[in-house]
Amino acid sequence: MEWVPHDRQTWKFRYARLKKDVTGLRYLGRWGKVGNLEGPMMETIPLSAGTLVKIVMVSRFGDVGITERLEDEYGYIIRVELADLEEEKDIPCV
């Protein structure tokens, strides 16, 4: 794939389907303690291959941040390589 500038408005597509299973994390908006560890409370978000996702961040390193919440504009749950995505042209209304 060719390099794309670090600006999502220049990206060729915003919606894609995953080619493989991935697991993301979403910050729950609070800190907590689990065992001896204290830090941000996170929710595990498993996504199966074929899941429709939205690109909400483009990295200078060539990867992208995605979310399964198609209405969101910000807040990726995982960063993936472009090779892990397939462009989706038939987008449902969001």
Indicate whether 10 pLDDT > 70: no
What's the pLDDT at 22?
98
What's the pLDDT at 61?
82
When pLDDT is averaged across residues 27-42 and rounded to a whole number, the result is: 90
- Do 65 and 84 meet the contact criterion of CB atoms below 8 Å apart? no
Q: Running DSSP on this structure, what letter comes out for residue 70?
A: T
Q: How many CB atoms lie within 10 A of CB 58?
A: 19
When pLDDT is averaged across residues 72-94 and rounded to a whole number, the result is: 87
- DSSP SS3 for 11: coil
- CA 82/CA 94 separation, integer angstroms: 23
Indicate whether 1 pLDDT > 60: no
What's the pLDDT at 72?
93
Listed by start position, the domains of the chain span 8-87
Indicate whether 7 pLDDT > 90: no
